């Protein structure tokens, strides 16, 4: 990725591997707002504003280094796309979602957010997370930070219910307490399957949510999050539909190896935006 930094301002040249709209709308992140000239994007206790200037994208924040990593700018997505384009169905999906990147988000924020995402729809997920930040996150002036695990752990279950999490309130409270109590998120020495199993010991974290956490919070690209949309794509690609989601996930992860997460984002985004029903 061709970028430069000047006074905490990240300047990105050319958008063929960096398309903010696709990066943000492809389902990996919930805390962002469209503005007149671009976006405001919130992560942990920070935010950045992103604007288009001619054929450049300019990202302003108080911590450029954080957002260079957040936007995964030091990775060559041209190479990734070259490897993926040979698979059936990927060519169209890449064409449609060109410029997607896998963000490097805060692990705890991803865990809480994707527990909320289960059996829920995207607008409502965004709303609930926003209310959770307002209720428990540090007041940063004109926005609220994502709540730390300690604040989440101290909050009563009623608080989670009051922001609209419904029956997930207990899962969130329980998981927050485990995280605050030192549940290790250092998966660096663990194989994908082991890390996945550990995450699934958290309440509200099944196979699909664990894969989202590994992919979006730890950049473990062996993960192939398999939701209803990917299941539909699976049927289109393989003509097979009576396998369990867990089985399909395993097949896809094996097929794409450490390109799974990238393939999944292109396929998911394309399916959700273009597949009818």
Residue 86 CB-half CA count within 13 A? 7
DSSP helix/strand/coil, 31? coil
Considering the complex, state which of residue 240 and residue 246 has its C-beta at the smaller distance from DNA: 246
Q: Does 90 bind DNA (CB under 7 A)?
A: no
263 Cβ contact partners less than 8 Å away, ≥ 6 residues apart: 84, 87, 90, 224, 252, 256
57 closest CA partner among 103, 98, 105, 16: 16
At closest approach, how far in Å is the CB of 11 from DNA? Answer: 28
Considering the complex, state which of residue 138 and residue 246 has its C-beta at the smaller distance from DNA: 246
Q: Six-digit token pair at 53?
A: 């200037």
Segment near DNA (CB under 7 A), from 36-44, 133-141, 148-156, 260-268?
260-268
Segment near DNA (CB under 7 A), from 1-9, 81-89, 164-172, 252-260?
164-172
What whole-number distance in Å separates Cα of residue 59 and Cα of residue 41?
10
Question: Which residues, listed in sequence order, are joined to residue 40 by a DSSP beta bridge?
Answer: 33, 49
Q: Does 171 bind DNA (CB under 7 A)?
A: yes
Considering the complex, state which of residue 143 and residue 229 has its C-beta at the smaller distance from DNA: 229
Q: Which residues are catalytic?
A: 208
Q: Which of 5, 51, 58, 118 binds DNA (CB under 7 A)?
A: 118
What whole-number distance in Å separates Cα of residue 241 and Cα of residue 78?
32
| Contact residues for DNA, defined by CB under 7 A | 26-28, 117-124, 161, 164, 166-167, 171, 200, 202-210, 212, 225-230, 244, 246-247, 264-265, 268, 272
């Amino acid at each position: 990725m061709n970028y430069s930094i000047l006074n905490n301002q990240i300047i990105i040249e050319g958008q063929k591997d960096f398309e903010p709209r696709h990066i943000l709308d492809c389902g990996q992140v919930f805390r962002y707002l469209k503005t007149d000239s671009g976006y405001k994007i919130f992560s942990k206790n920070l935010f950045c504003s992103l604007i288009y200037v001619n054929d450049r994208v300019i990202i302003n924040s108080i911590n450029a280094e954080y957002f260079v990593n957040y936007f995964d700018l030091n990775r060559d997505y041209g190479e990734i796309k070259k490897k993926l384009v040979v698979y059936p169905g990927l060519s169209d999906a890449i064409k449609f979602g060109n410029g997607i990147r896998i963000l490097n988000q805060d692990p705890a924020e991803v865990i809480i957010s994707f527990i909320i995402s289960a059996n829920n729809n995207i607008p409502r997920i965004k709303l609930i997370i926003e209310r959770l930040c307002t209720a428990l996150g540090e007041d940063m002036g004109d926005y609220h930070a994502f709540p730390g695990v300690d604040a989440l752990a101290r909050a009563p279950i009623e608080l989670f219910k009051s922001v609209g999490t419904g029956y997930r309130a207990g899962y969130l409270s329980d998981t927050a307490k485990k995280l605050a109590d030192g549940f290790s998120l250092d998966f660096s020495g663990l194989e994908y399957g082991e890390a996945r199993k550990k995450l699934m010991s958290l309440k509200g974290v099944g196979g699909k949510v664990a894969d989202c956490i590994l992919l979006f919070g730890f950049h473990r690209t062996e993960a192939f999050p398999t939701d209803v949309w990917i299941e539909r794509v699976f049927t289109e690609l393989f003509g097979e539909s009576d396998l369990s989601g867990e089985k399909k996930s395993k097949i896809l992860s094996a097929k794409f190896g450490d390109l799974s997460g990238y393939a999944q984002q292109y396929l998911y985004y394309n399916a959700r935006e273009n597949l009818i029903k």
